[in-house]
Structure 1
Amino acid sequence: MPGDRPRRCWREIAPVDLCLFARPGLAPDGEFDAFLAMARQADVAGLHSLCFGEHLVIAPDTSRYPYGPWGHPPDTAWPDPLLSLAAVAAVTERIRLSTAVLLAPLRPGLVLAKEVATLDVISHGRVELGVGTGWQSEEYAGVGLAWDERRRRFDEVIETCRLAWGEQPFSLPLDAGRLDAAGGDAVGRGTGRLDGLTARPVPVQRRIPLYYGVAATAANVRRIARLGDGWTPVGVTAEQVRAGVTALRSAYADAGRDPATLVVRVPLPPVPDAAGGIDAARTVAAAEPYLEAGATMAVAGPNHRLRSAAEAGELIEGLAAAAKAL
């Protein structure tokens, strides 16, 4: 089934898995229809997946962005990723639907589980999500959540999703906060659990792949081995990827999982060409040291508003050709 194939050594994969990073607002004229046209082109060209990020809001102070200067003006649009990917699913056939990254703790676990399961059904099993916590405390405050609780909530949300996507019916553990919100003993019957729950539709895939957009700390490595399916770091060197992969493979083995199934997805900064566009061949060629360090997938795409449908098409075809040639 989609998403269930084992990962192999990168030199055995032809072409290399390449994900198109394509924020809707960077499509020609910033039009969503142009973004969908790009998705169709990427589908036909044979790219592995399409992804983009998420923000509910952008606060005025962007100095805490951890990967350098924040490069987006305040009027940048950030469409909802899951709704956008549902639209992509309707106009494509095989390209996988991803995020880089979805801010999972901002949604209740059962709500996220329902949205993702529905997207997987709509797309006939093409969902694989990058998930993370984000870097803005204001997004948490805006939905009534504590920034300091983001990591605990991250685990809770993903654990809930895994239960809701699994065997039916299922039981949902309740911590003290959720038990109070659910009505205490009247709902939880004094057990701290909600039993006999069903959440349909269930995903088409036996397991929705979740790639964690986090630093490879000891705690996060254990988190990925327990709940995730891969790692999608940002702003890392090849040697940092190598160290993270080594730690993750060890954690997978300790957790009784096959280290060969680990997915490591790395971003490739776009290399400009003489015309102010992107040199697709040189951009993709930069993946080689990361792949040799243990990465299994690369992400490439524009950081500027594409000027025309022709430029978008040339970029997509160029990236696909470069991936096949690597």
Structure 2
Amino acid sequence: MVNASDDLDYRHRGSRVHVAAHQRGADATAVGRLIMYVPSCLASCAVVGTIAVSVLGTLGWLVLAVWLASGALVFHRPTELFFARRVLKLRPPEPQERARLEPVWREVTARAGIEAHTYELMVETSDELNATAVAGHVVGVTTYALNEIPSSHLAAVLAHELGHHTGGHSWAGLLGYWYSLPGRIAWQVAAVLGFVAVYVASRISTAVAVVLGLVLAILVIIVSFAYWPITLSLIVAPYFLAYTNRKGELRADEHAVALGLADGMVAVLQHRRAQEKAARARATEAGERPEEPGSLARLLSTHPGTDRRLRALEPYVGAAGR
């Protein structure tokens, strides 16, 4: 049931939409994210190629080529929708939800000069104020965002997610994750096998386990130093990727500002801050002590704090409609 008011200024209702010539790209944060994924993607390529050629011989090169081409599925709408439904638990909007969502979405995309049907709207059943941009064409919102906040605030949320799409944040993140996955799996398998080998050796003799552990550690050190540029980049990558994610969130906020929805974006963040404070208060009343993130956790956080986002938007307060 929709409880929110429809207070959005529909500037393009019934008027012709002027479609921008350039509707999608990759900003600096998306490009930086792709660059930092390169070492892990190369490692994945080596893993897939080695295994495929070892098992299938010459036919293994075809397997490698198919895997390299599989990244195009990020922009394949049926695959995106399958991923959104099965992995992210998103669903198509019900008729009442679509009637609420589509007019707001059309206004947001019209302001951006983008055709509304370019993207697929989906819904997540959740009591949280949230939304998500998935792969190349999916925008999801929670039922709370859909039903409980005014249309001007919902428009800001949708504009923020549209900013992730037009800036290339969503597809760059998913593409990098996909191509780095075999390398990460191989590393995890190698680590598990190493621990299992040491454990089995320990059942035979403690001395044998110690020697085997030292041999494995020395091998890791040798390989790390032999390929130190890749090792260094893999160590730095999580921090840089988290940084680009945080910058991407701020850029998406700026996209909402550019569409004249600064006040709505600020209101959404203030709403979220109030929810965070309420959650901390409930935890305190229950005798729990909310843990503040340390310096390392903040460096690895993929989202800037709500207060940080609000400070970035302070110059634009009252700018909606200018």
Task: Give the TM-score taking structure 2 as reference length.
Answer: 0.23
More strand by share: 1
Q: Greater CA radius of gyration, 1 or 2?
A: 2
More helix by share: 2
Task: Give the TM-score taking structure 1 as reference length.
Answer: 0.22
